[in-house]
Amino acid sequence: MIRFFNHYISIGVLAVLVGDMTFAALAMGGLVLLSGPFPVIFPPHPYATGIVWSLALAFLFFQGGLYDAASFEVDRRNMIRLLSAFVLLGGLGILVLKAVPAIRLGWRGELALTGLTLSLVAFWRWVLILRLPIHEWKRSTLILGTGQISRIFEELNRYRHNIRIQAVVDAQKIKEMNLARYAMENKIHSIVISLKDRRGTLPIHEILECKMNGIEVMEWPTFYEKNMNKIDIMNVNPSHLVLGDGFQRNRVTVVVKGVMDRVLALLGLLTFAPVGTLIALAIRLNSPGPVFYSQERVGLNGKTFRILKFRSMVTDAEKNRAPQWASEQDPRITKVGRFLRKTRLDEVPQLINILKGEMSFIGPRPERPYFVEELEKCIPFYGLRHVTKPGLSGWAQIRYRYGATVEDAVKKLEYDLYYIKNLSIFLDLMIFMETIQVILFGKGSR
């Protein structure tokens, strides 16, 4: 893992991304060479066209899940995904390249460029997988202590992570082993300290010797955050959050984020107006009641505001009842409402909340005061999610399914705190890209 703009990214995934974009650019170079004997395919501005083409490829591959490390395997499903992405790339290329005169290509050039790119990228991925297998890039890791590892041991050892758990050693075995010699003989790259009670247990001098020999040493919370992209709130001390890095508020980032929110919200409202009119009509025809639904939510610094949505439930769905989370096949949801929730179109009116400065495009989802009060009683650090503006989408929304229990709220808070700790424009962009996947494929809706 490397840290890029405050976010941990797998070296293997980054290498594949850079390789894909490089070979897409090389395909443009090949097109220029082919334009000698076949001048009808010559791109008028090869550099600009190559940049747009490479970015389009990265975007479509990202949406197709081709940068999940599990996709770096040769099997039928991944080959179909790769070919499907190129079909879309060809179609998107036609639209983009024809829409912008400076980078316009004829259909022959478009076909040749798509074929060259497919050949080069497929060859690159074949070489990467079969000749430079990324399984061997995994860092061998030794964990001292078994307190927190059992519940995620299998997840940490899955192919999509760039670590290999060499051993998990309990407190008694630590006393009996020569840690430094074991680490050297087994070529350990990282040592993780996962002991709650360390007095008289940790061989400090041997751990120091390991560190002096280039072995990375870290505590469990740092290891968990680095490899899981979330914070283990049930096993982290407040001192780790206070003394560790992150949770910084760069004024430039806050200002840029705020300006982008308002500009994009205004453009979104203007663009969506015709579709919104059709949705409003469908809601009125399907179920009696208002088109919009307003509900109190907790925002920045605990201040409440009224969130706006297209109504997706029957009118007075909670009349004379305590607030409750939506459930699967919830009978309160209307037919039109189920479609709106599946496609996330019910959330579009929140662009007004963003325009008013009550919300951001990216941030923790705002919760109702009733649930906030209850969750703060049983979940540590829950109130920290209110130190930034709530968002239309967020890290927890794209990484975890819809939450309807306290246990779900704990899992989602782990992701929310990771986002708050590592807030950056780059991370916002990643979340925005993955949100498109959620909208296109309806992941996690309820």
- pLDDT score recorded for residue 160: 47
Indicate the helix (H) or strand (E) that contains 219: strand 216-219
CA angle 397, 401, 406 (to 5 degrees): 95
- What local confidence, expressed as pLDDT, does residue 48 receive? 78
Residues comprising the chain, all counted: 446
pLDDT category at 77 given cuts 50, 70, 90 is: low
**In whole angstroms, what is the distance from residue 372 CA to residue 382 CA?**
8
User: Which range (56-65, 191-200, 237-246, 315-324) has the least confidence?
Assistant: 315-324
Residue 129: how many CB atoms within 10 A of its CB?
A: 16
E runs forming strands in 49-105: none
Per-residue pLDDT band for 57 (boundaries 50, 70, 90) equals confident
Decide if pLDDT at 146 tops 70.
no
Identify the structural domains of the chain with CATH numbers, from first to last.
2-133 (no CATH), 138-228 (3.40.50.10700), 251-441 (no CATH)
Token pair 């989802």 in the structure block, residue? 365
CA pseudo-torsion sign 347, 351, 356, 357? positive
Compute φ and ψ for 242, nearest 5 degrees. Answer: -75, -45
Residue 88 has pLDDT above 80, yes or no: no
- Collapse the DSSP code of 388 into the 3-class scheme (helix H, G, I; strand E, B; otherwise coil) and give the result: coil
The one-letter amino acid code at 199 reads: R
- 216 forms bridges with which residues in the sheet? 190
**176 vs 306, more confident:** 306
CB 311 within 8 A of CB 282: no
- For residue 210, pLDDT over 50 is answered with yes
Amino acid at 64: G
396-405 pLDDT, tens digit per residue, is 988 887 767 8
- Asked whether 391 and 357 are in contact (CB, 8 A), the reply is no
Higher pLDDT, 190 or 147: 190
> pLDDT of 355-408, one tens digit each?
999 999 999 999 999 999 999 998 989 999 999 999 999 999 888 877 678 888
Straight-line distance from the first to the last Cα atom of the chain, in angstroms, rounded to the nearest whole number: 33
Distance CA 425, CA 256 (A): 8
pLDDT digits (tens, 9 = 90+) for 307-357: 999 998 887 766 666 666 666 667 788 888 888 888 888 999 999 999 999
The total of other beta-carbon atoms located within 10 Å of residue 33's CB is 9
**pLDDT of 288:** 86
By CB atoms closer than 10 A (0-12, 13-18, 19+), residue 124 is: middle
**What string of DSSP letters covers 80-96?**
HHHHHHHHHHHHHHHHH
Could you tell me the pTM of the whole model? 0.75
Alpha helices in 127-250 (DSSP H): 153-157, 171-176, 179-185, 204-212, 220-228, 238-243
140 vs 187: CA distance, rounded Å: 7
CA distance 255 to 16: 33
Looking at residue 101, its pLDDT comes to: 67
Give pLDDT tens digits for 103-121.
667 667 777 888 888 888 8
